[in-house]
Amino acid sequence: MPLEIIHNDITKIEADAIVNAANSGLQMGGGVSGAIFRAAGAEDLQRACDEIGGCPTGEAVFTDSFRLPSQYIIHTVGPVWRGGVHDEEKILRACYRNSLELAASLKCASIAFPLISAGIYGYPKEQALQVAVSEIEKFLQEHSMQVYLVLFDK
């Protein structure tokens, strides 16, 4: 099945790319971002992110994955939830679409996503899940890729 929702630690997933729910400065954060940085090797990954310089909200960039089992880390910056009236859904959809398109351009056959913006950025989890599944399914109608949506908690 091209889309699987699994409960796991994203840093342990063997996919061509994993997605980091990043901040716009591409600095090591907490939550998923902190776990990815620690597992990849924080100094190496931070140096690679510093070379890129940053990433606008809704966009995606990539680095090597260093010590992770994936080949790439795709960094995307999700929206901070502000009640749903500041284009949060549109921006969140762009995160998934831009990450998937970047993975396709890198010739990735598989990619693993966390639930973007549903942690410290406050996006309601059920709504974030609906956006993720909808945008991933739309992409998969035209592309062949194994996509994992990796949820850390129940």
Span 94-99, mean pLDDT?
98
Distance of alpha carbon 62 from alpha carbon 59, whole angstroms = 11
Distance of alpha carbon 149 from alpha carbon 74, whole angstroms = 14
Strand ranges of the sheet holding 17-22, from the earlier edge strand across to the other edge: 3-7, 146-151, 110-113, 17-22, 72-77, 60-64
pTM across the whole model:
0.96
Burial zone of 89 (CB within 10 Å; 0-12 exposed, 13-18 middle, 19+ buried)? middle
Which pLDDT value is given to residue 154? 53
Q: Are the CB atoms for 154 and 8 separated by under 8 Å?
A: no
Q: Are the CB atoms for 102 and 74 separated by under 8 Å?
A: yes
Q: For residue range 110-134, list pLDDT tens digits in order.
A: 999 999 999 999 999 999 999 999 9
Q: What is the mean pLDDT of the chain?
A: 96
Q: For residue range 39-87, list pLDDT tens digits in order.
A: 999 999 999 999 999 999 999 999 999 999 999 999 999 999 999 999 9
For 97, residues 6+ apart whose C-beta sits below 8 A from its C-beta are 135, 138, 139
**Considering only CA atoms, which of 65, 53, 75 is closest in space to residue 11?**
65
145 pLDDT band, cuts 50/70/90, is very high
Which pLDDT value is given to residue 152? 76
Distance of alpha carbon 35 from alpha carbon 112, whole angstroms = 14
Q: Are the CB atoms for 74 and 99 separated by under 8 Å?
A: yes
Which pLDDT value is given to residue 153? 64
